[in-house]
Chains A and B, each alone.
Chain A
Amino acid sequence: MDVLTEDWQNGGFGLYLHWPFCQSKCPYCDFNSHVSSSVDQARWQHAFLSEIERVGEETGGRVLNTVFFGGGTPSLMDPALVSAIIEKISDTWTLANDVEISLEANPTSIEARRFRGYRDAGVNRVSMGAQALNDEDLKRLGRLHSAAEAMEALDIARKTFDRVSFDLIYARQHQALDDWRAELDTALSLSLDHLSLYQLTIEQGTAFGDRFNRGRLGGLPDDNASADMYLATQEICDTAGLSAYEVSNHAKNGFESRHNLIYWRYGDYAGIGPGAHGRLTLLGEKTAIETHSYPQKWLEAVEGTGTGEMYRELVKKEDQALEYLMMSLRLAEGMDLDRFHALAGHRINPLNINRLADLGMVFKTRDRLVATPNGRVLLNSVLSELLAE
């Protein structure tokens, strides 16, 4: 196959790095994050560099569009470590001229002190986990920072980086629609160019999940209320010029997270670090790759066997089509029907599309299918309807 026409190139090529440590574990969080009293950053540096080299051997010669330091809390990494990693990355791949290098940061003063170091290392975008803008709710979410501290950290971030984004969690306990409108207005008044607005999800295996199961997590909005909040959010952000480009992500034109777009456009990405997932087209075959998720296990695997990989499997064409559909319908730009056809070997049943269009869940342009805001808040059902026989 001509390399230039491989499917992944519709999405680009990015690198995800996972830093699995946090200062404390938030009660709602089911990410691969752990609290550890001491982390031997030199040892981790060694392992990261060795993994970058290994992955580089398989993907050499590519142009790298994005790098993303995610977590956990990557803003706990030594700037020197970040710097060494970025240096290794630029030795391994050709960086795109407009390469985006993002880092997730928790908005405490301690972390803000490291921002300059990150910038000097090459980071050009930060995504800050503000989560809420009042102290009572922050406490309920188990966060270590105050709202004021988050604002200070934001100030420093904006002085340091070209691009800064804010994460907020809404549809929280005891949050009414009007509370959220007010909070969102405050967030928008900061004139950021990117906002991630996630509705609180109660995940099994978290402290909130346990409390929820015992009936001890009161004040959560029901599905009706959270759907109303979602739709209100879309409206408010549209008016403010920060339309959703994805289910939970809003940006001014041109300020989208290019790294996340690679996932949603079903490009290629390598995952490095504990529990990182990758999708890489290797010798023409889309391959799913997963590393050991437990930090110590990953570290030992990298040191002992020379690879942190735990799992590797070819993704069948029809599964690629499915993955593409699931990811791309999250986007306001929707999906390319011909691309789906090329992957799946068949088209989406037009009857299913028509039925969903009649219900106002999707619309079709000449060659694309797009979920409406109403359809996006029901996306899982929309997907299963689209795929129904």
Chain B
Amino acid sequence: MSVLQGTASPAPIPVEIGGVRGGPPRSEVLRRDLWWVQPLITGLGLLGFVAYGTWTAFRGDYYFAGTISGVSHLPSHYLSPFYSPCLVSSCPTAVRWGPIGNVGAISPALLILIFPMGFRVTCYYYRKTYYRSFWASPPACAVADVGSTKSGGVRSRYTGETRFPLVLQNIHRYFWYFAVVFAGLLTWDAIQAFQFGSGWGMGLGTLIFILNAVLIWAYTLGCHACRHICGGSLRKFSSSPTRFKIWSKIVTPLNAHHQLFAWLSLIWIACTDLYVYLVAMGTIHDPRFF
């Protein structure tokens, strides 16, 4: 039986292709609920974030709210998450990490955004979202892929994630390694947000930064690649009790809400940035709690 030998070009699964299938026409959508609402809303949400992120990343200014130490009651270390870590010589000294010198007019955000962006773009959840909303592949369950009902059309064939470029989605775990570093950096920023010109304290911004770090961790630790690395890859849970605990008590529960944290952390990053921007512009005043 040829089906079993030589998998380089395996013999096809013995089914009849292209026969008459009967049933209602394939192009007809029989769903009667508002199936297009969800892909529309999520698609608009993603577009909104991309638009905001682009504006922020190219802004190159007002991404830091801080005063020179000792001068006042104002915060001294509010750094927008889009700009953390800040690596170039034009970064404010309080938050500069240093190795890269002058890069001229390039916004410091553009140097680092590839990491968080790559992480989100290759995230299993976001993949689902944009395949549905932008690729319409499928737009919703039991609604035909756009183009698939016209045989011979460009979109009548489908190869999923088997070919370049989509096969590159498989590098997601590498972005996850970087994401852990970034979550660490944002945690550091949250700790720094307790610093004010006159010493330690806490303002509304501090809370915003803490929430930002918490949401980023919830999102990063709920990642499917993380779930696999922490314990999912095991064949036998009982022989690795520690990894099983991490898998079952921390990562799997977070993973169950991965979609929620994907959105919350995304929205909150934008909010944090906007807050820093408004404080830096002097539009609003950071209320100080103590």
Q: Do A and B come from one complex?
A: no
